[in-house]
Structure 1
Amino acid sequence: MKFAKVLQQTLVEEDIPEEWVEAAIKYKSLKKCITKVVRELKFLGLEQNTLKFLLEDPNSEDGTKKIIEVDQHETLPNNPIIAEYTLTKSNDKSKPILPYLKITLNYDDDEYTDDHIHEVGLQLKHKIEMLLNNDDFADDDHEEPNTEQQVIEIKEEGDKLILSPQTTHSIPSRLGSPEPFELNNSKSLDKTITETKEPVPKQSKTNEIVIMLNSDTKFFQMLNKELESLDDLKSKEESNLISQVDSISHSVKSLSSPNVSLKKTDLYKWRELFKIYLDSEVYFKYNQTNSSASERNAEQIKKNLQEFVNRVTKSGITDQFKKKKSLAVFNQFISMNYHLLKVLQFQSINTEAFRKILKKFDKQTSLNVKNRFPKLINDDHVFFSGASLAQSICYIMQTSVLTLIPQLDDYTCPICTSVAFKPIKLSCGHVFCVRCLVKLKQQDKSNCPICRHENAVVKADSTNLDLKSMALMKTYFPLEVKEKLKERDKERYDEVVGKEKCIIM
């Protein structure tokens, strides 16, 4: 299936809002612009194969084609004529991207090794020489200059294309001047370029002509405008999602408050829900939200999100909420995730459209813009080049929602695997419950059991007690702490009395 149909089908099947569809890349319209660019190049005698010879060096030492870099101050092309396609952008964002095609003729050497390049080059050289020697461009004050640079612009006149020696575009001159080229005579030159005459005598060693195409300017202006619309949409949706996350955060904090009776709080239910969510790794691998390399694609996110919903449904947690509002907030949380997914799907399909339309432009024109255009506009648009929307939203969600309720895994003693109540932080940074460290000392084990830091266990004393973590455990893990204390008391009893039953005679 052609990509234009895939794009349209995706926008329909994923139920993309109409406002988003209006902001999407207009792939079909851009394709029509490319067709017009090809028509204008053919009008100049610059068919695709011709441009390949003129834009690339077929005689490189390693046998591969390379773009010929033409120095603006001293042009010494290897072919009889060379083309250089340039994209320029002003620091003023309100001004459009300006593309232009510079044709450089070299009169110094007519000896060429490749017959086909020789033929192509001389034919095009002949056409442009006729153009440059036309009376419309003649300047009585210039007799046999060493170099000459002129600008022409292709314009549409009805269904016909004409060449006009007048343009109001500001483009950099051969010597880097920012002043615009303006030629006063606007007489049509379309007949001149298509006529066949005998080659004219050489006027100068090097001649340059800058050709302003018409449709390529429209193509880049249209594409740039669509990127601006996508930037605005991304910013708007990001603000919307952040607002939803803040709302959910406020609600969850109230519904899971540890400062009320366990019979009136949904603390444990929300903790269980968030643990399932983290284990599902919907958008990223756990604790890797700062790495774009670990970000899931839209299809994987959709699959993971559905698996999360299925696991929650199967667990029956939502049926055990003590407060009715908890179910409403959970549904809001799910809705927010699906909305983020839709934004990511929209971003993904437009990123693909952007890549493919530039690839198509190059395929049909050989003007090599698929890498240069993105670099040129990289700092102006956040839709593609900015931070991943999934990264920014997931980071906010993780810091303001998921961390509201601490997970038991983060406060578990690695030895007994229960809550590390009365946590002792060793000099190496590892944390254990005091009971397990006492046992290690009784066994004459002095090094950290995790990293083997020397004498870390022996040196630990009352100053190593992590009071802040202990207070948090009492607040957020009351049942686990109660069970821990019960186990501790039982161990102490067994140590003192022994495991044999006491018999009263």
Structure 2
Amino acid sequence: MKYGKTYSSLLSTPTWPQEWKDLALDYRGLKKLVNGVVQELAAQGLNHEVLLDLLEAEREFEEHETLTVGDARSAFDLANQKPSHTSFSRSRAHYEFTSDAANITPRLRIWLHSEPGSPPGDLLQPSLLQPRPETNDSHSRASTNPSSCEGSEGAEPIPKLDIGMGVIEEPTLMSSSVNLANKPNPLYALKSDYDSNPRQGASSVEVVDSNTDIHDLVELDKTAIGVVPLEQPESELLARDNGSPQDVEVIVPLTADTAFHRVLATALSSLGSLQTRTQMRISDQIFSLADTVSSCSGPPARDRKSDLYAWREIFQLWVECQIYQGGATERERASGESGIRDVAEAEKRLGMFASEVVKRGLGDRRTLKSIKSRDALQTFLNLNVHILDLKKFEMANAEAARKILKKHEKRTALPTATSLAVLPISRGTGELPQMLITTLTETLLPVLPSLEDYSCLICTSIAFKPIRLACGHLFCVRCLVKMQKRGQAECPLCRSSCVLVADGSNLDVGLMNFMKEWFPKETKEKSDSNDRESAEEQLTEMVVIALVAASTGLATALPTTNATLSIVVKRSINGATGSDCNGYTFTAAQVSAAAQASLSHVLAGTTVGTNKYPHVLDNREGFTYPSGCTVTRYEFPIFRNNIYTGGDPSVDRVIIGHVSGSSAYSCGVLTHQGASGNNFLQCDNA
């Protein structure tokens, strides 16, 4: 199927607004204008083969110029300090535009070359530029059989005529649509004029009007028809008369080509304005949709009808479907799927997204409690469809412009690159849809807090309870405790030595409350998971401690009833040593057992005894503790034969500090024995 039919079929898409269809490129009309350009050029003897040869000669001339200027041995014209071009011996043509902000005007600049005593160069071949004798029959045939531009991909065949010098071709004349008369080739008139006055033709510029009769062109004075001699020294003209090659410069206006480019430029400008209006309109719809979703998806604790989790699932599904752009997995990069999707693939994935939304029941009142939410979902789907339609519309017009310019170059030999330099092409194909997709992503997705933004980078679940290290990185309390138990001092992300010094003061309370509000389900699941994991670790450590205690003769100091099982050691103690309190000594194992019991209560938030041990030590005596024993410090009764579970606390206390997750530091033992009042004395290390 030819693209014209495909393009017409696309423009009949029912979901496209009428404004788009009205401003789309008129592909058929532009094809007719191209046919007119072909006929206009042929009427001036510039059929495809001739013009292609002239333009190729111009390219070779420019290369020749570059080499000549760069060669220090090249000949220079001393009169005007320009390189000598006399060594280039071909006629040539240059396709150029003279344009301002409103008008585009293409034209051809042709240089006819000849050697002294011969007709102008290889352009003026007999088969192309020598006219046959004028007869009534020839005029009759030309007037009754005009070239047709409707429904043909090429110009009418040029009739072959015999004028006694062999078979030649008569150039096809312009049709009336481009306002050119049925006249002999004006370039031949230029040749005749040059032959009659080679001195004038050697350095002149002819502006050839396509409406000027050939006989008038020959008879009129040169100054009357636009022959403007260039200012050159008389010696140069004489030198050219005496054997120098001659060049005649001709400027050929292109009426039909001007019409073609102005129509195309106007259409492209209208499409650019449409792009701007469409971008503003869709952006406003996206911002309005974001406000609606935000109002319907507040924290569930504040609004019982909140659709927070439904919209979060919709957006997550939309991102996972990767409708407009491929992912960045290794397989997709290798297969080239990580780029922008084509329209067909994007439509397929959008259909998958809509199907999955329906399958999960995300579009009905079971999950979307608010009517506003259901309307917003429909708007969201319509926006996606509209953006895809816009992408198809842009691609269709871009392809139409590309094909019509390609046809223009193929039929006329005039280079497309020159046209592209002056046409108002505002942005690349598909750039506007991609901009709108970016706006959609950056505006809608941040409306709802994303779980990924609040996940622990170690366990990948929500970072509850969030511990913010001194370096600024965030981890959940469980992962931090595990790092401290392993003795890992460095942050996994930046390698700062801040893990072991983290304690309860590093808990980000504000962020923890935010997580509870916006992620109530996830925080509850994480809290339950932490409790289960903590209980398992407690049971494991209890067995280990029991075995160690039994091997050191402390089996009797361990509780054996279910009532006291929960306060048995559940975390590790660092730095425990034996202590001597005025002759009453405690072994390192006894100090460690009491310290771990104290830590278990601190972590569980429980106390025992009338005085609610363990409680914070105020250190009013100003004792100095080991460097690892940082605040907050806790005191807890210590006995040699059992773990304190209530009753008389006696006079000795084990001190722990630097409570961090599942571990703490043993700061030593204090005693009231021998101290005044309610003060303590510090026991010596044994």
TM-score normalized by structure 1? Answer: 0.76
Q: In 2, distance between residues paired with 1:455 and 1:129? A: 87
* Distance in 1 of aligned mates of 2:450 and 2:486: 31
Normalized per residue, which structure has more helix?
Answer: 1
The answer on 1:376 being equivalent to 2:386 is: no
> Structure 1's 273 and 57: CA in aligned 2 closer, same or farther, altered over 3 A?
same
User: 1:40 and 1:442, CA in 2 relative to 1: closer, same or farther beyond 3 A?
Assistant: same
SS at match of 2:12: helix
1:308 maps to: 353
Residue 495 of structure 2 is aligned to residue 475 of structure 1:
no
CA displacement at 1:250 relative to structure 2: 0.9
Q: Aligned partners of 2:250 and 2:521: how far apart in 1?
A: 83
Within a 5 Å distance, the mapping from 1:5-24 to structure 2 comes to 5-13=5-13, 15-24=15-24
What per-residue deviation string (whole Å, max 9, x for no partner) do you get for residues 350-406 of structure 1?
Answer: 11111111111111111111x3322333xx443x44881222212222222111112
Point out the more displaced range, 407-416 or 348-357: 407-416
Out of 88, 93, 98, the residue aligned to residue 83 of structure 1 is 93
* Superimposed CA distance per residue, residues 324-349 of structure 1 (whole angstroms, 9 cap, x where no aligned partner): 22111101111111111111110011
**What is the aligned partner in structure 2 of residue 207 from structure 1?**
248
Deviations 1:446-479 (A, max 9, x none): 4444x58364644656676556654542332122
Q: Which amino acid aligns with 2:259?
A: K
Report the AA paired with residue 94 of structure 2.
E
Q: Show the counterpart of 1:178.
A: none
In the other structure, the counterpart of 2:594 is none
Q: Which amino acid aligns with 2:284?
A: S
* Match runs of 1:257-296 below 5 Å: 257-258=298-299, 260-261=301-302, 263-285=304-326, 294-296=339-341
SS of equivalent to 2:438: helix
Pair 495,130 (structure 1): closer, same or farther in 2 beyond 3 Å = closer
Contact 2:394–2:429 (8 Å) recurs in 1: no
In the TM superposition, residue 409 of structure 1 has moved relative to its aligned partner by: 2.6
Q: Give the CA deviation at 1:5.
A: 0.5
Alignment CA distance shift 1:107-1:57 (3 Å): closer
Tell me the equivalent position of 2:40. Answer: 40
Bigger mean CA offset, 415-424 vs 118-127:
118-127
| Correspondence 1:356-395 to 2 at 5 A | 356-369=403-416, 371-377=417-423, 380-382=424-426, 384-385=427-428, 388-395=431-438
Letter matched to residue 413 of structure 1: C
Distance 1:21 1:59, change over 3 A: closer
Give the conservation status (yes or no) of the 8 Å contact 1:97–1:220.
yes
How far apart, CA to CA, are the structure 2 residues paired with 1:387 and 1:8?
A: 20
Give CA deviations for 1:113-164 in whole Å, capped at 9, x if unaligned. xxxx97555446777664236679999xx96365111212335x9xxx9899
Of the candidates 326, 330, 343, which is equivalent to residue 298 of structure 1?
A: 343
C-alpha displacement of 1:294: 2.9
TM-superposed deviation, 1:84: 0.9
Deviation, 1:76, is: 5.5
Which of 410, 415, 432 is the equivalent residue of 2:458? 415
Distance 1:503 1:423, change over 3 A: closer
Q: Which runs of 5+ in 2 are unaligned?
A: 70-81, 131-184, 227-241, 330-337, 544-559, 565-686
Letter in 2 for 1:342: D
Distance 1:402 1:218, change over 3 A: same
Note if contact 1:80-1:110 (Cα within 8 Å) is conserved in structure 2: no
AA matched with 2:43:
F
Mapped partners of 1:59, 1:227: distance in 2: 29
User: What residue in structure 1 maps to residue 482 of structure 2?
Assistant: 439
- For the aligned residues, what is the CA RMSD? 4.2
Residues 443 and 313 of structure 1: CA distance in aligned 2, closer, same or farther (over 3 Å): same
2:449 aligned residue:
406
* Counterpart for residue 152 of structure 1: 208
| 2:189 equivalent in structure 1 | 131
The code of the aligned residue for 1:421 comes to F
Is residue 421–residue 484 contact of structure 1 (8 Å, CA) maintained in 2? yes
Which blocks of at least 5 consecutive residues in structure 1 are unaligned? 112-116, 166-181, 187-200
Q: CA deviation at 1:203?
A: 11
Greater Cα radius of gyration, structure 1 or 2: 2
Paired with 1:442 and 1:497, the residues of 2 have a C-alpha distance of 16
Aligned length: 449
For residues 427 and 357 of structure 1, the distance between their equivalents in structure 2, rounded to whole angstroms, comes to: 64
Corresponding letter in the other structure for 1:402: L
Distance 1:69 1:485 in 2: 81
- CA pair 214-59 structure 1, distance change in 2 beyond 3 A: closer
Task: Determine if contact 1:154/1:162 at 8 Å carries over to the other structure.
Answer: no
How far apart, CA to CA, are the structure 2 residues paired with 1:417 and 1:59?
Answer: 63
Measure, in 1, the Cα distance between the counterparts of 2:87 and 2:507: 77
Residues 110 and 55 of structure 1: CA distance in aligned 2, closer, same or farther (over 3 Å):
farther
1:244 match: 285
Cα distance, 1:482 vs. partner? 2.2
- Partner amino acid, structure 2, of 1:303: K
Q: Give identity over the alignment, percent.
A: 31
Deviation at 1:236, TM superposition (A): 1.6
Structure 2 residue identity aligned to 1:252: V
Instruction: Decide whether the 8 Å contact of 1:275 with 1:407 is kept in 2.
Output: no
Per-residue deviation at 1:18? Answer: 2.5
